[in-house]
């Protein structure tokens, strides 16, 4: 039955329905109930845009299984809707009305009710309405829940007034933030997580009559109203109705300043009381103003609150009592002319244990709803995890969201601003339309420290313009095994390369002394993950199905210092403001401790990082990382804090953490000195960022987000990151007069070329943000291009083929090899390579976060390019393909012949790769003539440059020698030549130019 027909015959249907209700007999003037779903087959199982019931979930296992079952005990009719579920992420089902038909008008009714067969499990089930908008998948979401705490059939009644605007997700952002009900598109139920269960449901219908007190609501324009002492706060009181209809009856709002706040009436403010009236006929959205005048007593004071109690007649009252806050004033910590150290000391001396615990706590924005808990728990920080964004996902919405959270912090006693953090690991990658850079592996391939700094500066500018002052980047991991799912987060396998790319810290933060942090285009950087995250052994992870991520790094003390700690010494020297420990465990051979989680290693955090290295910023934990420590929760908190972790990222357990930290401190198991040190470190960075003076977003730079200038930097980075591994017969660069056949899964997929940590944590294939694919870049470059993704189109008549293959997005341990991933091309990609390269001269581009095993096809491929994950600017890849820029990239990691070789790294005693670390052919640059004699001369000149400290000259000389050697080695890369070649690049990065040419000369001699 079509939905319109069903509703049209509602009166006839309801005459046949039983009318037992949970709330007793209906009122005599109530309209007849209107059926929505009887589950007798009138509503099909169908997906949008068709009308019907459909399931959904976080992954393939999460959607429930639904069916219509015949039941003798069915409350209505003969059938009920039943389902089974076992949900690990999220899952449920929806009834969307058909998009091609008008939305339904539910505004005349009191609420919605249905029969539910209780299991008595005490689980909450979320019930959601879809209101307004274009259709059921582009509407506003309003939510409430009921608790399954009974057994057998029961009719559940939910008044529409119980529904609240969903704050964690909205498909199209805020439409009008009013539950209008005159354009309703359906409903949805979210089922319990973490249990295996079943359910039965029947007879969904609208009930009761909507009187004005249930369909009109009174709101205020904010929950907090900061005002300077002696100033006047203006509270705007508004009335809104479902359906946006004018008021039928008057609404009165009696207001009174309550003496329950911390401000003293008569001394701090003038008490107010009165009534505002919205007469019958007042349009929805009308506003009245209430003024609260504060008094100046010229005494230094912390912030004081004046609750404005509202008593509403004829409408629903606001969910919260608005508070006027008289700003803190006259206290030393508020004086920007004082040294930061004195401001910090003054503020810490005034804080209670509860306020200190709050500063050490970071919650996820999705956990705090409207944000009232920010003041209740004195929270010091919030974050957006991967994919945790406002809706709409725009720069303006980000700034508005964060400003709203900062406003909540103004209701605390000392008005300590929040520090908001995001994982902007290759641009402001959570923000749609932002400039997305190549991932770090590609930045390492550029060998261009100045460019790395510029990418950091672009990222900082775009992040700060949305109100975010803190970036959880850069990752200073030294990747030692490409089976690791985070390989692309590393600049490379050589600590010297990682150190050279740490110019990105200055791009993010500015000057090493932190004086630029308060600027509107700089953010606090985070060196992560301390220490050894890139050295975990394959098979050592105990986290879920991960195989290597979060595992154990087993090293000697010397290896730890030389490989994994070295980048952190550089970061501390560069003034990095925060450090994040690794999930992984560290096993230092010979220390007798075995594997110990980094969040528990006081010897490394307190001893090495803060002590020996002199790090004076603060340490932030990784996401729920303390939960991986042994023992009970109190020991998790105690161990991590004592180890030197200053702030805990406890996204959804912030209440438990703060309560536990306070209890441990009051019991003396965590010292006051340690807590004061942590809080002082955090506050020092907040003062340095200028947040006390300017807590709200400075959006003056928002116009630069995704701008042509910023994308030009990303385009250059994409171009310089391309590593030309093979180029037989000069296939590359392409010429514009050539007919080019393009194929492969990653030629025209923006999501695949940006990789994980793009818009969402894991990333996704497809057009997930704004940018240019490699195929689009080739077309814009003026090439004569034909595209066939699977190479099914005829291949006759083309001069050259370009096949773009590689990986699909992943992040962290989800991408570990052995966790559903490998280093092989897909069968479709292999087929495309085989077909195109058999038909014409061909170039293969590998878009991936790590090397792929292509040795079995290397002979059939004329040109091979490691494209890494180039970001949103596919134009940069096209620039080198068509010769607008030369290929100059070099391998940041060793390219293996087989997975059996892994781990394989520069400096290994046995080293026989497909292509060695540092390898990278070039185009449009003439290789210097000569052989050993030329190399001898270059070596002498390089040694002289080294002695003179002429680094630029030394690097140029080594680069010339490398080109000579690569030209000879290109015929066949052997183990005898590969090892000294790779060693030479490490020597170059450490400033030993003469020795680098010596090793290149050895590689030349060994090449066949």
Show Cβ contacts of residue 12 under 8 Å, excluding neighbours closer than 6 positions. none
Is residue 1 predicted with pLDDT exceeding 90? no
Instruction: Please tell me the predicted confidence (pLDDT) of residue 459.
Output: 98
Q: Which of these, 568, 499, 564, lies nearest to 534 by C-alpha position?
A: 564
Span 500-529, pLDDT tens digits: 999 999 999 999 999 999 999 999 999 999
Omega cis (within 30) before 19 = no
Q: Which of these, 374, 359, 380, 224, lies nearest to 303 by C-alpha position?
A: 224
Helix H, strand E, coil C: the string for 13-78 is: HHHCCCCCCCCCCCCCCCCCCEEEECCCCCCCECCCCCCEEEEEECCCCCCCEEEEEECCCCCCCC
- Tell me the CA end-to-end span of the chain in Å, nearest whole number: 79
CA of 236: how far to CAs of 284, 324, 696, 825, in Å? Answer: 14, 12, 21, 61
CA distance linking residue 696 with residue 468, whole number of Å: 9
Show Cβ contacts of residue 179 under 8 Å, excluding neighbours closer than 6 positions. 129, 131, 140, 142, 160, 163, 165, 242
Cβ distance 401 to 697 under 8 Å?
A: no
Show Cβ contacts of residue 60 under 8 Å, excluding neighbours closer than 6 positions. none
CA distance linking residue 551 with residue 542, whole number of Å: 7
Is residue 6 predicted with pLDDT exceeding 50? no
Crossing angle of helices 654-666 and 633-643, in 10° steps, is: 70
Crossing angle of helices 708-721 and 449-464, in 10° steps, is: 140
Instruction: Please tell me the predicted confidence (pLDDT) of residue 929.
Output: 86
**Mean pLDDT confidence for 546-571:** 98
Residue 312 pLDDT grade (very low, low, confident, very high; cuts 50, 70, 90) = very high
Instruction: Tell me the pLDDT of the chain averaged across its residues.
Output: 94
**DSSP summary character for residue 399:** H
Is residue 608 predicted with pLDDT exceeding 50? yes
CA distance linking residue 537 with residue 540, whole number of Å: 6
pTM of the model: 0.89
Strands 585-588 and 618-619: unpaired
**Mean pLDDT confidence for 85-104:** 94
Crossing angle of helices 340-350 and 672-688, in 10° steps, is: 130
CA distance linking residue 895 with residue 901, whole number of Å: 10
**Active-site choice (135, 448, 748, 812):** 812
| Long-range contact pairs involving 607-613 (C-beta distance under 8 Å, separation at least 24) | 608/531, 608/565, 609/530, 609/531, 609/568, 609/572, 609/579, 609/644, 610/644, 613/568, 613/569, 613/572
Residue 49 pLDDT grade (very low, low, confident, very high; cuts 50, 70, 90) = very high
Strands 304-313 and 251-257: antiparallel
Q: Which of these, 16, 12, 6, 17, lies nearest to 203 by C-alpha position?
A: 17
Most confident listed range (89-93, 120-124, 216-220, 481-485): 481-485
**Active-site choice (268, 355, 622, 749):** 622
Span 478-508, pLDDT tens digits: 999 999 999 999 999 999 999 999 999 999 9
Q: Is 622 part of the annotated catalytic residue set? A: yes
**What are the structure tokens assigned to 935, written together?**
């190399």
Residue 27 pLDDT grade (very low, low, confident, very high; cuts 50, 70, 90) = low
CA distance linking residue 970 with residue 807, whole number of Å: 26
Q: Which of these, 514, 527, 512, lies nearest to 472 by C-alpha position?
A: 527
Is residue 173 predicted with pLDDT exceeding 90? no
**Mean pLDDT confidence for 646-670:** 98
Q: Which of these, 640, 509, 624, lies nearest to 578 by C-alpha position?
A: 509
Dihedral over Cα of 854, 855, 858, 859: its sign: negative
CA distance linking residue 962 with residue 778, whole number of Å: 30
Span 857-892, pLDDT tens digits: 999 999 999 999 999 999 999 999 999 999 999 999
CA distance linking residue 964 with residue 928, whole number of Å: 6
Span 419-453, pLDDT tens digits: 999 999 999 999 999 999 999 999 999 999 999 99
Quickly tell me which residue has 């730079």 as its tokens. 701
**Mean pLDDT confidence for 151-162:** 94
- Three-state secondary structure call for residue 854: coil
């Amino acid at each position: 039955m079509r939905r319109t027909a069903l509703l049209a015959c509602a009166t006839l249907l309801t005459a046949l329905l039983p009318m037992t209700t949970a709330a007793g007999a209906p009122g005599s003037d109530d309209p007849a109930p209107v059926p929505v779903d009887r589950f007798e087959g009138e509503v099909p199982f169908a997906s949008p845009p068709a009308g019907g019931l459909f399931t959904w979930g976080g992954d393939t296992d999460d959607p429930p299984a639904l069916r219509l079952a015949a039941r003798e005990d069915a409350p209505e009719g003969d059938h009920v809707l039943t389902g089974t579920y076992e949900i690990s992420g999220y899952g449920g089902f929806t009834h969307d009305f058909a998009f091609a038909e008008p939305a339904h008008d539910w505004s005349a009714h009191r609420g919605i009710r249905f029969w539910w067969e209780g299991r008595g499990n005490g689980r909450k089930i979320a019930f959601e309405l879809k209101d307004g908008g274009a259709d059921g998948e582009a509407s506003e979401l309003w939510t409430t829940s009921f608790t399954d705490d009974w057994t057998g059939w029961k009719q559940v009644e939910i008044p529409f007034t119980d529904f609240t605007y969903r704050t964690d997700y909205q498909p199209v952002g805020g439409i009008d933030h009013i539950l209008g009900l005159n354009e309703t598109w359906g409903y949805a139920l979210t089922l319990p997580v973490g249990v295996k269960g079943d359910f039965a449901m029947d007879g969904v219908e609208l009930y009761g009559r909507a009187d004005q007190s249930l369909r009109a609501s009174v709101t205020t324009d904010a929950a907090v109203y900061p005002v300077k002492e002696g100033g006047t706060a203006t509270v705007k009181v508004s009335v809104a109705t479902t359906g946006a209809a004018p008021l039928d009856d008057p609404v009165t709002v009696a207001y009174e300043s309550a003496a329950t706040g911390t401000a003293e009436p008569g001394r701090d403010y003038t008490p107010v009381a009165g009534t505002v009236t919205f007469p019958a006929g007042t349009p929805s959205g009308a506003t009245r103003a209430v003024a609260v005048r504060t008094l100046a007593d010229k005494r230094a004071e912390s912030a004081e609150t004046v609750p404005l109690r509202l008593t509403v007649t004829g409408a629903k009252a606001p969910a919260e009592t608005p508070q006027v806050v008289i700003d803190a004033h006259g206290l030393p910590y508020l004086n920007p002319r004082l040294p930061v150290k004195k401001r910090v000391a003054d503020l810490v001396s005034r804080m209670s244990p509860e306020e200190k615990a709050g500063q050490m706590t970071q919650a996820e924005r999705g956990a705090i709803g409207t944000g009232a808990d920010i003041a209740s728990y004195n929270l010091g920080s919030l974050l957006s995890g991967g994919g945790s964004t406002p809706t709409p996902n725009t720069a303006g919405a980000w700034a508005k969201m964060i400003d709203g959270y900062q406003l909540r912090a103004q209701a605390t006693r000392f008005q300590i601003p929040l520090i908001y953090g995001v994982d902007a690991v290759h641009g402001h990658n959570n923000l749609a339309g932002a400039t997305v850079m190549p991932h770090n592996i590609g930045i390492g391939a550029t060998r261009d420290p100045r460019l790395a700094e510029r990418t950091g500066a672009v990222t900082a500018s775009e992040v700060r313009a949305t109100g975010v002052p803190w970036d959880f980047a850069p990752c200073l991991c030294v990747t030692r095994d490409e089976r690791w799912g985070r390989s692309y987060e590393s600049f490379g396998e050589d600590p010297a390369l990682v150190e050279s790319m740490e110019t990105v810290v200055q791009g993010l933060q500015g000057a090493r002394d932190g004086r630029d942090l308060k600027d509107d285009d700089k953010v606090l950087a985070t060196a992560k993950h301390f220490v050894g995250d890139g050295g975990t052994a394959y098979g050592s992870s105990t986290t879920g199905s991960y195989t290597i991520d979060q595992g154990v790094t087993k090293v000697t003390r010397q290896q730890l210092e030389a490989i994994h700690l070295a980048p952190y010494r550089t970061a501390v020297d560069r003034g990095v403001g925060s450090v994040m420990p690794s999930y992984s465990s560290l096993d230092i051979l010979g220390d007798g401790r075995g594997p110990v989680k980094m969040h528990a290693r006081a010897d490394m955090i307190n001893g090495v990082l803060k002590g020996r290295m002199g790090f004076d910023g603060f340490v932030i934990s990784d996401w729920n990382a303390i939960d991986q420590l042994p023992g009970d929760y109190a020991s998790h908190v105690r161990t991590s804090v004592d180890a030197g972790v200053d702030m805990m990222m406890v996204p959804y357990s912030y209440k438990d953490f703060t309560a536990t930290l306070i209890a441990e401190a009051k019991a003396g198991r965590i010292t006051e000195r340690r807590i004061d040190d942590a809080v002082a470190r955090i506050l020092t960075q907040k003062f340095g960022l200028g947040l006390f003076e300017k807590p709200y977003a400075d959006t003056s730079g928002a116009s630069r987000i995704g701008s042509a200038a910023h994308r030009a930097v990303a385009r250059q980075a994409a171009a310089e990151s391309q590593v030309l591994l093979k180029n037989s017969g000069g296939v590359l660069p392409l010429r514009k007069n050539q007919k080019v056949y393009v194929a492969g899964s990653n030629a025209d997929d923006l999501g695949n070329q940006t990789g994980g940590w793009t818009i969402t944590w894991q990333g996704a294939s497809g057009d997930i943000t704004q940018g240019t694919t490699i195929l689009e870049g080739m077309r814009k470059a003026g090439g004569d291009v034909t595209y066939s993704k699977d190479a099914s189109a005829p291949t006759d008549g083309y001069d050259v083929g370009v096949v773009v293959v590689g990986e699909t997005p992943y992040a962290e341990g989800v991408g570990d090899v052995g966790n559903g991933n490998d280093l092989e091309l897909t069968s479709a990609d292999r087929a495309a390579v085989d077909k195109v390269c058999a038909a014409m001269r061909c170039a293969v581009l590998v878009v991936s976060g790590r090397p792929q095993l292509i040795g079995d096809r290397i002979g059939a491929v004329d040109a091979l390019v490691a494209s890494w994950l180039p970001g949103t600017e596919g134009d940069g890849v096209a620039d080198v393909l068509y010769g607008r820029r030369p290929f100059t990239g070099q391998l940041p990691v060793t390219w293996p012949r087989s997975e059996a070789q892994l781990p394989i790294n520069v400096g290994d005693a046995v080293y026989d790769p497909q292509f060695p670390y540092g390898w990278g052919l070039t185009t449009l640059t003439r290789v210097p003539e000569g052989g050993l004699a030329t190399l001898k001369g270059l070596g002498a000149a390089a040694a002289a440059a080294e002695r003179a400290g002429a680094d630029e000259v030394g690097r140029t000389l080594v680069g010339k020698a490398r080109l000579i050697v690569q030209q000879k080695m290109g015929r066949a890369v052997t183990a005898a030549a590969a090892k000294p070649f790779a060693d030479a690049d490490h020597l170059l990065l450490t400033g030993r130019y003469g020795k680098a040419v010596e090793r290149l000369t050895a590689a030349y001699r060994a090449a066949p």
